[in-house]
Amino acid sequence: MRATTKPTTADLDAALPAQRGRPARRPPTGEDPSLRAAYRLCRHTTRVHDSGIHALIQLMPTVLRPPCWALWAAASVLDDLADQRDAEQAERAARVEAWTQALQRDLTVGTSTDPVRHALVDTALRWRLDLSSLQGAVTSTLDDVRDRRFADWAEWRAWCETLVPWVDQVRHLFEQAGAPMTLRLDRQQDYKRFIDGAQLTDILTDLGADLTQGLLLLPQEALDTYPSAEDDLRQGRWSPATAALIRELTALARQWLTRPAMTTGMHPGAATVLNTAACLMRAQLDAVDGAGPTLLKRAPRPSLATRTRILAPARLRSGLAWSLTPLTAPGPRRPAVTKSDPSRAAEADTALQPPPPHPGGARPPQITLDQMPAHVAVIMDGNGRWAQQHRLPRPEGHRAGTAAAHEMVYGALEIGLRHLTLYAFSTENWKRDTGEITTILEAIRRDLDDGPLRDLDVRQRWLGHPDKLPDELVQALLREERRTRNRTALTLTVCINYGGRDEITRTAAALAQEAHAGDIDPHLIGEDDFARHLPHPDMPDVDLLWRTGNEQRTSNFLPWHATYAELHFTPDHWPDVDRRDLWQAITEYSRRQRRHGAAPLVSPEHHRPPRHVRCDCRSCPP
């Protein structure tokens, strides 16, 4: 079960004799002795449960170690609860459930009588972690994996993804501390492969222990490469087929773990942590390769000399890197008082708010569900001309345009739209004057920091490429993406440094990489494969594409998603529109007949305009 929740490496702590006997580093917990003891226990639990992880945490800056111990100790406790062989599956599930429910209660009061939860609650509140994202990972530790079979690598990966939320929590900690473990968006594929490599290393290491429990956590696709290998493994027999299979899998894991570009441009301390993790896991794979038949009896370990060779220079490098970056731990915080969902208590200080009403009291039209677009995309054009019309400098037009963007979000929430995508800055807009570019990007960043969308039930995400964008803006975009990821009413995608051709080119490159690595057969690539490699694979096709500013072109906006979009062009400059214009666009859309290449429908049924209970949009009579 361990492989389902987190990666392990070999017992590396023994490689660090200098560490032994030292008093535990004092976590920044203020004067609360019980909290200090709780963090110490978490550190101990991490070391006992997975001393390789403990060694990696020692490469992190001092302020980040206690929260990492708390997270890892919690993962270990949950793992143990889910794994207890003395209990039936239902009983184990009940124990995990009880622990997580107690955590939710503890989060609302800000403390716990259980030491691991006490440290975890302090970590979550202090570092503003949203622990609700761990729910899926926790649930999957309850799965009974005994009969689990994976047809292919894709199924195996989907199961392994439960690790990602834990890793994301650690990345969030780095970001909060001011040393972001920024993964460039064009390296996301590398990141995913790295996680796969960690999982596969773990599974190969624990092969013997898993087999004694009847578990063989490898995809059928891989097992079938050597026909007798599966039988041999299940019978505990070492054979030429099993040896060849293991060799092939260690080579694959090594390839997945070797992603030098993943840490390019990263803080050198964070890069050292990731690169060392990769080195340790490769050493672990060497040990698996060298184990031969004993692999089926016990977990192999790299030698002490090997571990020391990797960890000693890493300690020096990380120590130097972190000493050059002053980082501080945030102080203790109290939980939010008014949260309807206690699992999200650490997420924000306030409960989610409804959108402010339209100043004139306008209400949205009622559109029947089958006539509502799922996804509206907007080219917000005409800021410059609006400014010119008002004898203002162009930057003023962009500032005024921000209020119109807020209006779109309010209108989308009120009418019940699920996806709204706004074009804010194109890859072609770099051709503009530097001052104007700075104004546009600055306005976006300020809005992310303290704009009025922060407390709405809106999941905010960014589509575009980080190249040339200011680092603070990229960080703010990623932060908001993380902060709002569990919100459900509306998904707002803001396109910044976005170009449709750029998106298609990068997606094609990602597919080419997969084909090159042998993960996908180039002859079988279909539209679905392409769509799965887009930056936001879950983004639905655009139903309605609306452009303001009296231009009738799409300017490199969403070419993949908008192939069948209904087009809507309006003359107003962007700062002059408000939510009623969005409602009007949707109302017009609801009257269109979409065919997607089929023959027209003749039944009069389909020509009847929708009935509105009451509509305040600008085109409908009062």
Nearest CB to ligand IPE, comparing residues 266 and 577:
577
Residue 542 contacts ligand IPE per CB under 6 A: no
The residues in 424-453 that bind ligand IPE, with binding defined as CB under 6 A, are 424-426, 428-429, 440
Q: Considering the complex, what minimum distance in angstroms separates the CB of residue 528 from ligand IPE? A: 29
Which of 159, 191, 256, 423: binder of ligand IPE (CB under 6 A)? 423
- Interface region with ligand IPE, contact rule CB under 6 A, candidates 181-189, 200-208, 215-223, 419-427: 419-427
- Interface region with ligand IPE, contact rule CB under 6 A, candidates 369-377, 423-431, 445-453, 607-615: 423-431
Q: Considering the complex, what minimum distance in angstroms separates the CB of residue 185 from ligand IPE? A: 19
Size of the site for Mg ion (CB under 5 A): 1
The residues in 548-587 that bind ligand IPE, with binding defined as CB under 6 A, are 549, 551, 553, 555
Nearest CB to ligand IPE, comparing residues 336 and 494:
494
Q: Which does 297 bind (CB under 5 to 8 A by kind): Mg ion, ligand IPE, none?
A: none
Q: Which does 341 bind (CB under 5 to 8 A by kind): ligand IPE, Mg ion, none?
A: none
Fill in the amino acid letter for 309: R
* Cross-strand partners of 495: 423, 463
Q: What separation in angstroms does the CA of 358 have from each of 193, 407, 419, 421, 617?
A: 47, 8, 20, 21, 12
Q: What separation in angstroms does the CA of 368 have from each of 567, 586, 591, 603, 618?
A: 20, 11, 11, 19, 19
Whether 429 is catalytic is: yes
Q: Considering the complex, what minimum distance in angstroms separates the CB of residue 571 from ligand IPE? A: 12
Q: What separation in angstroms does the CA of 613 have from each of 227, 363, 545, 557?
A: 66, 11, 25, 34
Instruction: Give 561-568's long-range contacts (Cβ < 8 A, gap of 24+).
Output: 561/375, 561/377, 562/377, 564/594, 564/596, 565/377, 565/541, 566/373, 566/592, 566/594, 568/544
Query: Would you say how long the chain is, in residues?
Result: 622
Write the interaction track for ligand IPE spanning residues 359-398; mark x where CB under 6 A is met and - where it is not. Answer: --------------------xxxxxxx-------------
Q: Which does 446 bind (CB under 5 to 8 A by kind): ligand IPE, Mg ion, none?
A: none
Q: Which does 424 bind (CB under 5 to 8 A by kind): Mg ion, ligand IPE, none?
A: ligand IPE
Which member of 50, 381, 447, 581 is catalytic?
Answer: 381
Q: What separation in angstroms does the CA of 332 have from each of 106, 119, 127, 180, 561?
A: 15, 11, 9, 21, 45
DSSP 477: H
CA distance 8 to 54: 10
Fill in the amino acid letter for 143: D
Give residue for tokens 């917990």.
29
CA distance 202 to 300: 11
Nearest CB to ligand IPE, comparing residues 105 and 385:
385
Which of 230, 381, 414, 581: binder of Mg ion (CB under 5 A)? 381
CA distance 159 to 143: 10
Among 579, 578, 575, 554, which residue's Cα sits nearest to residue 565? 554
- Interface region with Mg ion, contact rule CB under 5 A, candidates 136-144, 293-301, 358-366, 378-386: 378-386
Count the Cβ atoms, other than its own, within 10 Å of residue 550.
13
- Interface region with Mg ion, contact rule CB under 5 A, candidates 277-285, 376-384, 468-476, 571-579: 376-384
- Which residue spans within 187-291 are E strands per DSSP? none
Q: Considering the complex, what minimum distance in angstroms separates the CB of residue 320 from ligand IPE? A: 42
Q: Would you tell me the crossing angle of helices 65-83 and 115-126 to the nearest 10 degrees?
A: 130
Q: Considering the complex, what minimum distance in angstroms separates the CB of residue 397 from ligand IPE? A: 6
Task: Let me know: does 20 contact 58? Beta carbons within 8 Å.
Answer: no
The residues in 505-524 that bind Mg ion, with binding defined as CB under 5 A, are none
Size of the site for ligand IPE (CB under 6 A): 18
Fill in the amino acid letter for 177: A
Which member of 13, 429, 578, 616 is catalytic?
Answer: 429
CA distance 392 to 395: 8
- Interface region with ligand IPE, contact rule CB under 6 A, candidates 37-45, 200-208, 364-372, 547-555: 547-555
Q: Which does 231 bind (CB under 5 to 8 A by kind): Mg ion, ligand IPE, none?
A: none
Whether 381 is catalytic is: yes
CA distance 612 to 214: 61
Give residue for tokens 């707002």.
492
Q: Which does 440 bind (CB under 5 to 8 A by kind): ligand IPE, Mg ion, none?
A: ligand IPE
Q: Which does 383 bind (CB under 5 to 8 A by kind): Mg ion, ligand IPE, none?
A: ligand IPE
Active site residues: 381, 429
**Residue ranges binding Mg ion (CB under 5 A):** 381
**Residue ranges binding ligand IPE (CB under 6 A):** 379-385, 423-426, 428-429, 440, 549, 551, 553, 555
